[in-house]
């Protein structure tokens, strides 16, 4: 089977995009296909696979699969790339439209005249309820904000935020000193997080700039995480490091995002979306 694809990235967070308006894939092959396409040695190489699908609720629907084949709940960088794709392909004509992701509808705003330069995504409300993460055994508390969390051989002060997917944010003195490849998988799969979690380590640079590194659930270390950047700004705001209704620059390994967390607990993310290549992937069914 030859599968047409586009590879795109948002700040180095790259995915393989498949247009399900024009090409259909059986549901049962999607996890295996994501693993095969994302493999850097035997596939195309990416952080995962994104399906651009018809929607009954919005102009377009996005489904995301991590590189391990698990289906993700949300991805800010992928949302910007989907917005760029459907606008530049003429699938939508207006510069403001909605994208369905999970049980959410988010609004995309295109910036640029002849081509898409940046995209703003209205990510919706930040959910601070422990039940939404979920996180245990702190489930008897309504929220986890600035709590000391013990992971056995290490501990960090964390704040839990859901942006349609689960995040635990740690404010640290120097993100460069965090051994992310060691602590990331322990936090992701810790029993405290029964549905696993994305882990963000954040360094405060100023009252309108932070630096962040991320371990993503199902993908590991990535160059950037849009929902993670949103969660980081929410956590930094709750802890008094930055203020609401302010554009906060989030510096990631792959570049910068602008995040605003407003008085209504709504989050807005602005950043780039870049096309890398297009082509056809030759899929052969196998055991992997």
Rounded Cα–Cα distance for residues 17 and 273 (Å): 13
53 catalytic residue (yes or no): no
Q: Is the peptide bond before 134 cis (omega within 30 degrees of 0)?
A: yes
Answer whether 236's CB lies under 8 Å from 171's CB. Answer: yes
Beta bridge partners of 239: none
Rounded Cα–Cα distance for residues 235 and 143 (Å): 12
Kindly name the residue from 75, 211, 230, 260 that is annotated as catalytic: 75
The sign of the CA dihedral 230, 12, 79, 68 is negative
Answer whether 81's CB lies under 8 Å from 9's CB. Answer: yes
Answer whether 72's CB lies under 8 Å from 66's CB. Answer: yes
Q: Residue 174, SS3?
A: coil
Q: Radius of gyration of the chain from Cα atoms? A: 18
Residue 182, phi then psi, degrees to nearest 5: -95, -50
230 catalytic residue (yes or no): no
Rounded Cα–Cα distance for residues 277 and 72 (Å): 23
Kindly name the residue from 81, 225, 230, 260 that is annotated as catalytic: 225
Q: Kindly list the catalytic residues.
A: 75, 225
């Amino acid at each position: 089977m030859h599968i047409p694809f586009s590879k795109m990235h948002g700040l180095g967070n790259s995915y393989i995009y498949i247009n399900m308006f024009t090409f259909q894939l059986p549901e049962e092959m999607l996890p295996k296909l994501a693993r095969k396409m994302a493999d850097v040695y035997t596939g195309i190489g990416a952080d995962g696979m994104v399906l651009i699908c018809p929607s009954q609720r919005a102009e377009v629907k996005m489904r995301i699969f991590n590189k391990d084949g698990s289906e993700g709940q949300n991805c800010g960088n992928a949302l910007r790339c989907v917005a760029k794709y459907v606008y530049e392909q003429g699938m939508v004509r207006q510069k403001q439209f909605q994208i369905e992701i999970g049980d959410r509808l988010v609004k995309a705003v295109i910036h640029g005249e002849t081509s898409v330069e940046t995209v703003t995504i209205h990510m919706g409300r930040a959910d601070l309820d422990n039940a939404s993460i979920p996180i245990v055994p702190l489930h008897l508390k309504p929220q986890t904000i600035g709590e000391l969390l013990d992971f056995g051989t290490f501990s960090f002060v964390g704040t839990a935020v859901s942006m349609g997917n689960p995040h635990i944010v740690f404010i640290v003195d120097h993100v460069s000193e965090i051994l992310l490849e060691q602590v990331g998988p322990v936090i992701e799969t810790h029993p405290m997080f029964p549905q696993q979690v994305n882990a963000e380590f954040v360094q405060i640079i100023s009252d309108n700039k932070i630096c962040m590194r991320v371990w993503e659930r199902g993908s590991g270390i990535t160059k950037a995480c849009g929902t993670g950047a949103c969660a980081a700004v929410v956590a930094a705001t709750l802890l008094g490091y930055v203020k609401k209704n302010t554009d906060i620059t989030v510096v990631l390994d792959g570049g910068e995002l602008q995040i605003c967390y407003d008085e209504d607990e709504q989050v807005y993310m602005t950043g780039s979306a870049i096309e890398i290549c297009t082509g056809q992937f030759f899929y052969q069914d196998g055991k992997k």
